[in-house]
Homo-oligomer: A and B are copies of this chain.
Amino acid sequence: MLNRVILIGRLTRDPELRYTPAGVAVTQFTLAVDRPFSSNQGQREADFIPVVTWRQLAETCANYLRKGRLAAVEGRIQVRNYDNNEGRKVYVTEVIADNVRFLESANSANREEGMSSGAMNQGGGNSGGGNRGGGYGGGRDNQDPFQDDGKPIDISDDDLPF
């Protein structure tokens, strides 16, 4: 009824773009997502989570993503199964992504890029940076609730949220 996943991690290899018989693009890659704690042997571990994208998003991912790059993925968990050649049912769990954000462009990623060819529109999107809103301009007097408002956030200890 509701199935939502958000991941941030790094690609374990270059994405693989294929096409269905009817010509629909599908791209698969695996994200390595560090676990938020260490194992009992004191090592940092990661989950390796397979991601699938379709159509236009598939082609964009194939063009912009490369092994080692950081990406954010939004999607849903899908479980499919098939019978392997020993006749066993094999379950495959994947994240079907409907939104992928490239958190590192070719130039900000300082690793070997192989055949990566630089991709189009690198860095496109999150060019922005700081205060581009204008909305926050100068001569305001207290009209911005995200600031201290004179009323200095009311932080008594009673407001502790946890």
> Do residues B103 and A154 form an inter-chain contact, with CB atoms below 8 A?
no
> Do residues A78 and B126 form an inter-chain contact, with CB atoms below 8 A?
no
Contacts of A16 in B (CB 8 A): 148
A143 — nearest CB in chain B belongs to which residue?
B89
Contacts of A159 in B (CB 8 A): 20, 40, 80
Contacts of A22 in B (CB 8 A): 157
List chain A positions with a Cβ less than 8 A from chain B: 1-13, 16, 18, 20-22, 24, 26, 28, 30, 32-37, 39-41, 46-50, 52, 54, 67-68, 70, 72, 74, 76-82, 84-86, 88-96, 98-99, 101, 103-104, 108, 110-111, 125-126, 128-133, 135-136, 140, 142-146, 148-162
Other A-B pairs, 13, CB within 8 Å; known A4-B6, A49-B93, A80-B154: A4-B5, A18-B155, A21-B157, A37-B162, A49-B79, A52-B161, A54-B160, A80-B159, A82-B151, A84-B151, A85-B150, A91-B144, A98-B162
